[in-house]
């Protein structure tokens, strides 16, 4: 009960702190260019004065107009449709955002097994068919290895990334025992088990994904290397068969997204207990710049240090409106794309590294994937637009439009280093 009251008090403080600056955000903001440079009305009958004037348009109106089909992104197919979003959209730190964030935090704070399972199933229902069109048939939880001299095709760059995961990072071999904590649709676990002949236990979120992974394992003739469990990190103990030694290698790609920031220590402790001393852990977290995540209450006052990511020197995530944009993005993601994926909203890479140390791990390597993620998201945007008719027929127009806005927004945040993605290689202390 005390914990619940604490959450209520924190949420109330957030509402008061952000609402105090609502008057400042309601003032008219002049824009360097008209919003029509980014958005165009869908019909000639829609009042477009707000989009042709040289003033920013409130984010609430932009989201409503876009999802309602009243405006379009001019450059959505390239993935750079929201590259200049900060110049034309006003991201206010008003009471509206405060209430949305407070609701998201309170609903997601518990992260009970039942709630997390329900969110996972809802995400699969919302996006299963769409992800196959956008990410490809494998639906891999990876971004391409988009460096100089690397393959231009996304599938080829993903192949390079898979090889790096299996050979360079995890150094897999037949004597290893691999645990994939967040196997999604199981494709990566099946590939690694088949490619490196390594005994593997893969945890997939839902029964629907389990059916896909089981079929895939049979088609690849990798059944003898694979065991599957459904759930999340709470299912890790079920992967430890009687008489089987602990795991020597663990893979957790995007596994922290829906865990909840408060549950990261529990996640790492659960995973660590299933690993033998000296075993390797490869994490791929999505995080928020520290200049945003650590200043909820003081967001509209402080305008201080850059994030430790080198890219932040080029694209500083500073200023109240820059912070508000990121919070609106996370609210949109949880509302329309992936419910419960609230960990990146308040978690920084420094926090993840600190929790690893406290959980008994030593960090061996940290690699930024932020630029790779931006380029990968641009390819996803192009694929989404190409599959528009099919997605609308299989799902509905609202789902298509929500994903179009989400992917272009995600690409823009990665490109401006206001959203980060990393590989973290750690080893369990002996």
pLDDT of residue 23: 42
Please provide the size of the chain in residues.
Answer: 430
- Of 430, 136, 424, 402, the residue nearest 255 (C-alpha): 424
> How far apart, in whole angstroms, are the C-alpha atoms of residue 298 and residue 287?
20
Q: Are 205 and 253 in contact (CB under 8 A)?
A: no
pLDDT of residue 96: 62
> How far apart, in whole angstroms, are the C-alpha atoms of residue 201 and residue 250?
10
> How far apart, in whole angstroms, are the C-alpha atoms of residue 64 and residue 134?
24
Q: Are 397 and 332 in contact (CB under 8 A)?
A: no
pLDDT of residue 230: 94
pLDDT of residue 263: 94
What are the extents of the domains in the chain?
A: 2-103, 112-428
Q: 133: Cβ–Cβ under 8 A, 6 or more apart, which residues?
A: 383, 384, 387, 390, 391
End-to-end CA distance of the chain: 39
What CATH number belongs to 112-428? 3.40.50.150
Q: Are 192 and 165 in contact (CB under 8 A)?
A: yes
Which H/E stretch holds residue 343? Answer: helix 343-346
Helix (H, G, I), strand (E, B) or coil at 302: coil
pLDDT of residue 264: 96
pLDDT of residue 273: 96
> How far apart, in whole angstroms, are the C-alpha atoms of residue 168 and residue 177?
16
> How far apart, in whole angstroms, are the C-alpha atoms of residue 110 and residue 107?
7
Q: Are 217 and 191 in contact (CB under 8 A)?
A: no
Residues paired with 282 in a beta bridge:
251, 425
pLDDT of residue 290: 84
For 64-104, give the DSSP string. Answer: HHHHTTSEEETTTTTT-TTTTHHHHEE---SHHHHHHHHHH
258: tokens are 């829906």
> How far apart, in whole angstroms, are the C-alpha atoms of residue 53 and residue 78?
25
Axis-axis angle for helices 320-332, 397-415 (nearest 10): 140
pLDDT of residue 430: 86
Q: 154: Cβ–Cβ under 8 A, 6 or more apart, which residues?
A: 136, 144, 376, 379
Per-residue pLDDT in tens (0 to 9) along the chain, 430 residues: 556 665 665 566 555 555 544 444 444 445 556 787 788 887 666 666 778 878 889 999 999 999 999 999 999 999 999 988 888 898 876 666 666 666 655 555 578 889 999 999 999 888 878 998 998 888 888 999 988 766 678 999 999 999 999 999 999 999 999 999 988 999 999 999 999 999 999 999 999 999 999 999 988 888 899 999 999 999 999 998 787 899 999 999 999 999 999 999 999 999 999 999 999 999 999 999 887 765 543 333 333 333 344 433 333 444 677 788 988 999 999 999 999 998 998 899 999 999 999 999 999 999 999 999 999 999 999 999 999 999 999 999 999 999 999 999 999 999 999 999 999 999 999 8
Q: 186: Cβ–Cβ under 8 A, 6 or more apart, which residues?
A: 202, 204, 209, 210, 212, 213, 214, 216, 217, 228
Query: Apex CA 214: angle with CA 255 and CA 246, to 5°?
Result: 55
339: tokens are 């419910």
Residues paired with 361 in a beta bridge:
428
pLDDT of residue 35: 81
Which bin fits 271, alpha (ψ -120 to 50), beta or left (φ > 0)?
alpha
Place of tokens 């390597």: 365
pLDDT of residue 429: 95
């Amino acid at each position: 009960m005390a914990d619940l009251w604490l959450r209520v008090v924190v949420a109330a403080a957030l509402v008061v702190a952000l609402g105090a600056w609502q008057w400042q955000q309601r003032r008219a903001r002049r824009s360097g260019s008209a919003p029509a440079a980014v958005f165009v009305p869908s019909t000639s009958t829609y009042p477009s004065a707000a989009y042709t004037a040289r003033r920013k348009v409130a984010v609430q109106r932009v989201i409503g107009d876009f999802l309602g089909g009243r405006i379009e992104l001019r450059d959505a197919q390239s993935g750079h449709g929201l590259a200049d979003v900060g110049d034309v959209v006003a991201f206010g730190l008003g009471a509206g955002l405060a209430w949305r964030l407070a609701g998201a935090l309170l609903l997601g704070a518990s992260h009970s097994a039942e709630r997390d399972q329900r969110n996972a199933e809802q995400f699969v229902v919302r996006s299963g068919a769409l992800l196959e069109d956008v990410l490809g048939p494998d639906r891999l939880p990876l971004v391409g290895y988009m460096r100089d001299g690397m393959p231009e095709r996304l599938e080829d760059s993903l192949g390079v990334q898979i090889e790096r995961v299996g050979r360079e990072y995890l150094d897999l071999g037949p004597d290893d025992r691999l645990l994939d904590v967040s196997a999604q649709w199981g494709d990566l676990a099946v590939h690694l088990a088949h490619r490196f002949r390594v005994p593997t236990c893969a945890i997939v979120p839902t029964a629907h994904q389990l059916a896909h992974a089981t079929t895939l394992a049979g088609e690849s003739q990798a059944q003898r290397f694979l065991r599957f469990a459904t759930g999340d990190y709470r299912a890790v103990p079920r992967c430890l068969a009687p008489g089987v030694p602990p795991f020597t290698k663990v893979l957790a790609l995007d596994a922290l997204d829906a865990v909840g920031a408060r549950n990261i220590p529990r996640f790492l402790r659960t995973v660590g207990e299933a690993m033998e001393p000296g075993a390797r852990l490869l994490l791929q977290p999505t995080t928020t710049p520290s200049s945003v995540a650590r200043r909820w209450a003081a967001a509209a006052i402080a305008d201080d240090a850059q994030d430790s990511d080198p890219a932040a020197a080029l694209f500083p995530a500073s200023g109240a409106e820059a912070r508000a944009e990121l919070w609106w993005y996370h609210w949109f993601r949880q509302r329309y794309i992936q419910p419960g994926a609230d960990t990146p909203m308040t978690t920084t890479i420094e926090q993840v590294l600190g929790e690893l140390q406290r959980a008994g791990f030593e960090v061996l390597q940290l690699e930024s994937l932020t630029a790779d993620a931006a380029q990968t998201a641009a390819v996803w945007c192009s694929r989404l637009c190409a599959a528009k008719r099919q997605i609308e027929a299989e799902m509905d127009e609202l789902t298509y439009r929500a994903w179009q806005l989400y992917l272009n927004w995600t690409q823009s945040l990665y490109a401006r280093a206001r959203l980060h993605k990393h590989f973290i290689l750690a080893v369990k202390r002996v």
